[in-house]
A and B are shown apart, each in its own frame.
Chain A
Amino acid sequence: MATQTFHKKIETVSPTRERVMGLVFLTLAFCIFFFFSRDTAAGQMTKFELTPGGLATVLPAWVLPTMSTLNILAIFAAVLGGVQLARGFKHYTNWVLALVVAFFVFGFLVWAAAGKSLNIGGLLATTLSKSVPITLGALSGILGERAGIINIAIEGMMLTGAMVGTLVGSLTNSWLGLVGATLTGGLMGLLLGVLSIKYKANQIIAGTVINILATGLTSYISAKFMQRYMEINNPQIFKSFPIPGLADIPFLGQILFNNNLFVYALFLFLILLQLGLFYTRWGLRMRAVGEHPKAADTLGINVIRTRYFSVMLGGMMAGFGGAYFTLGSVGRFDEMMTAGRGFIGLAAMIFGNWMPFGAFGAGLLFGFADSLASRLAILQIDIPSQFLLMAPYVATMIVLAGVVGRGQAPASEGIPYEKE
């Protein structure tokens, strides 16, 4: 009986949700028409420039008639809403939702840039670079949580990574700085592991300890040494370099393959982690430990060792992500410079349903909101950019509430394992 109800839950979407989603689609369609389309004068044009910057322009600007584009978007969204209400998209609903939201965002851009020009290439390039630390943070969270260790200390690990990266990078060279940052992150991961695995401390408290410790230590060392002696706070940064061949792909190639080391490393980690988690023995074991440690233990997997390994790997990932702030962008360390990116990474992990590529998608979304917000002022839009910046957090809460389908957190996360 219980199995059957569960079966149903997986296979079908509840009719109420189908209807609610249909109404959401229609509302978005209406919003595109009412707020954007009706607000534009006839004959206005929207110009999207497609120059990500860095390399020579290849594509000409993309000019769209504002009003008719908006009307077409509204009609498409409305049709999708109608189909949803009449038949329902069943388990494709979330994809259709993503599509309609994308229509809405595109409509917003078309409206915002009406009569002006907006550099979409630049917007997307900033989106990618802003998403790097967030996604690396999310990957760190995934590594921990898939093995059953909640890591809310990503922020602290990043901060220490950023600082040690700068210190070592200034004293030696940036490559060693990167290694130093990664190892420091791993050390913080080990601390989280010792507290939560060996001493079975509450994992959220253990994470809080690390966050406070990292903030205190880095601010202390920064105030005492790094702000006074500039020679230890001045590492070489990793410069962007195009990947031959791939960077010549028009538009996308320039955005994706003309970056610095961190972006390429992110791509690599994403693929490795996605494959590793779901197609290797290592990943299977790790997930087993996170879902049902007792069963994993019975089958001969060393739960404790797997957890230590994962949480340290997660720490290293966060430390590497922290180095992005100093060695990958500004080239100096400032107190509290991660500015909550670790927590946003945590949100991106949840948003992405504990999947590497899902987290990357969420990271891009967060980065997009961030880079769009900074452009609103340039486009002279009256919407306060703060509300746009809030949107990702609100969206995470909505996802967490199960409105868009509940994510699947590893079942045993947060519970210390005790061998019987």
Chain B
Amino acid sequence: MHPTCQHLSGVSLDEKTSKKQDAGKIFLEEVTSPPPDQRGLKRFGRILLIPVLAVFTGLVIGGIFIALTSENIYEAFGRSFGAGLIEALQTVGEAYVALFTGAFGSPVRIITALQSGDGLEIRRAFNPILESLVTSTPYIFAGLSVALGFRAGVFNIGAEGQIFMGAAAATFAGYALKGLPGIIHIPLALLAGAVGGGIWGLIPGWLKAKTGGHEVINTIMMNYIAFRLSDWLLTGPMKRPDSFSPVSPMIEQSAMLPRFFDDPIRFHLGFFVALGVAWLVWWFMFKTTWGFELRTVGANPFASRYAGMNVARNTILAMTLAGALAGLAGANEVLGVNHYLAMAFSSGYGFDSIALALLGNSHPLGVVLASLLFGTLRNGATPMQVSLGIPNDIIMVLQAIILMFIAAPAIIRTIYRLKKPTKEQPVANFKM
């Protein structure tokens, strides 16, 4: 007998099935593990506790990081320890004040603007907070994409590529269709975006269902294929005829998501579309039979197979829907903000969306809240960079720290000496 075979024959059926459980599935079990047997406010508080502490701790560590990388603090510490400490607190305080005024607008400016009654000045004063909502909008879509995947047992790490394909499809629908009224053109362009992203999700979904190829690797590969494809599209078929840089033509006026205010406020209908889609995802996941099947397959594919559910079909469906949601993020950016397609404009959303889905506990409401938080932080970071010279990449550091605490809540529990929850211990309840 062949030695390999001998080795294999020793493996029992039980172990074989446990071997098949890949990281994604195990993770899904974590995310979808039923909430502890508690009701009302207490339960809500328990769900919120870890994310809130994670964000708070992230901000504290981020502050320490800002302090450590500021030269003036070292000088102050050279004078005396007390001076250094005050300087450090001052620098971090200034940074976060700049971050929050950048994100929400400065109250003083809003009041003076309202008193002066100057329309442009009022709009400028209110712009930061509305701009935060504009920044949050693609996050909502992309976060929903990953969250839906998590609930259904697939790990969609390819939001980046799906966003791009959605954006490309929406752009094409935006400039190639002419003479349509907005009420038809906008939904059509959004739909094109969803289809474009959906196809980019369908392929890895199908590959996972039919061949077992892991969706994490396949979606990463699809990301790079999307980048190359975009490169080709924007230098070839979709290139703007009169331009030297690789950009697409402007979309038609009728395809642009309407804006609610005059310049410089870019706040547009897409935000409400995102909220509507979030509600729709919630309704689909928690109120329909299809959503129930999706979640069941995500929670336990073996049990759902015995219950007669089609695991393959649900996997494909989940990846397609996840792709479509990410595609909408891209479509939203093109139709609402940029109005044309540029190369790899979505960079960074792919990983951010994973953080969003986790921070939001893979629940649509949680994702919306997490997106608002991240959108606000990101939007506030640019003014902070301009006024204080603190690079806006600090937001990524914050995100990473927050995500780390969400992924390993045991760290947070250790820091704050929290008790371990009695029943639910999301990270350690693997079935080996």
Interface, chain A (partner B; CB < 8 A): 2-3, 6-7, 10, 150, 152, 195, 199-206, 208-213, 215-217, 219-221, 223-225, 294, 340, 343-344, 346-347, 350, 384, 386-387, 389-390, 393-394, 396-397, 400-402, 411-416, 418
Contacts and interface: CB of A to CB of B under 8 A. Distances in A.
B133 to A, nearest CB: 23
A390 B22 CA distance: 27
B391 A219 contact: yes
Contact of A396 (B26, B221, B389): B221
B418 interface: no
Please provide the 9 A-B residue pairs with the shortest distance between their CB atoms, ordered closest to farther.
Answer: A216-B396, A414-B23, A213-B400, A199-B408, A223-B391, A219-B393, A400-B213, A216-B397, A386-B232
B192 interface: no
B23 A204 contact: yes
Main secondary structure of the interface of B (DSSP, over half): helix
Contacts of A387: 228, 232
A225 B13 CA distance: 57
Contacts of A225: 69
16 contacts: A6-B9, A7-B5, A195-B408, A199-B411, A200-B430, A202-B26, A212-B352, A212-B399, A347-B217, A390-B224, A393-B221, A396-B217, A396-B221, A397-B222, A412-B19, A418-B430
Nearest to B409: A199
Contact of A415 (B207, B401, B430): B430
A202 B157 CA distance: 14
Nearest to B22: A414
A390 B391 CA distance: 34
Contacts of B228: 386-387, 389-390, 393
Contact of B69 (A212, A221, A416): A221
A350 B390 contact: no
A350 B212 CA distance: 14
Given A7-B5, A205-B354, A415 B408 contact: no
A3 B9 contact: yes
Contacts, number: 175
A212 B407 CA distance: 13
Contacts of A206: 404, 407-408
A326 B24 CA distance: 35
Interface of B: 2, 4-5, 8-9, 13, 19, 21-24, 26-27, 30, 69, 155, 157, 207, 210-214, 216-218, 220-222, 224-225, 228-229, 231-232, 235-236, 351-352, 354-355, 358, 389-391, 393-401, 403-404, 407-408, 410-411, 427-428, 430, 432
Given A10-B4, A402-B212, A223 B393 contact: yes
Contacts of A195: 404, 407-408
Given A216-B400, A402-B212, A411-B19, A209 B220 contact: no
B229 A386 contact: yes
Contacts of B395: 216
Contacts of B9: 2-3, 6
A195 B412 CA distance: 12
A343 B396 contact: no
B305 to A, nearest CB: 19
Given A212-B399, A224-B389, A201 B214 contact: no
Given A221-B69, A223-B393, 4 more contacts: A6-B5, A208-B354, A213-B400, A415-B21
A201 B390 CA distance: 31
A208 B355 CA distance: 9
Given A150-B23, A205-B403, A10 B396 contact: no
Contacts of A343: 220, 224
Contacts of A200: 408, 427-428, 430
A346 B27 contact: no
Given A204-B24, A346-B217, A418-B430, A220 B394 contact: yes
A410 B358 CA distance: 27
A123 to B, nearest CB: 20
Nearest to B214: A400
B5 A202 contact: no
Nearest to A411: B19
A414 B26 contact: yes
B201 to A, nearest CB: 14
Given A219-B393, A402-B212, A346 B220 contact: yes
B218 A400 contact: yes
Contact of B397 (A199, A220, A413): A220
Given A204-B157, A220-B391, A400-B207, A215 B217 contact: no
Contacts of A217: 393, 397
B23 A203 contact: yes
B371 to A, nearest CB: 16
A204 B216 contact: yes
A208 B225 contact: no
A216 B393 contact: yes
Nearest to A413: B23
A386 B214 contact: no
Contact of A224 (B224, B236, B390): B390
B167 to A, nearest CB: 17
A335 to B, nearest CB: 8
A415 B155 contact: no
Contacts of B236: 384
A415 B428 CA distance: 11
Contacts of A201: 404, 407-408, 427
A331 B135 CA distance: 36
Nearest to A414: B23
A412 B21 CA distance: 9
Contacts of B22: 414
Nearest to A150: B23
Nearest to B232: A386
A211 B69 contact: no
Nearest to A191: B404
Contact of B2 (A10, A205, A390): A10
B351 A205 contact: no
Given A200-B427, A412-B19, A402 B211 contact: yes
A217 B65 CA distance: 10
A204 B355 CA distance: 12
B253 to A, nearest CB: 31
B218 A397 contact: yes
B155 A204 contact: yes
A212 B217 contact: no
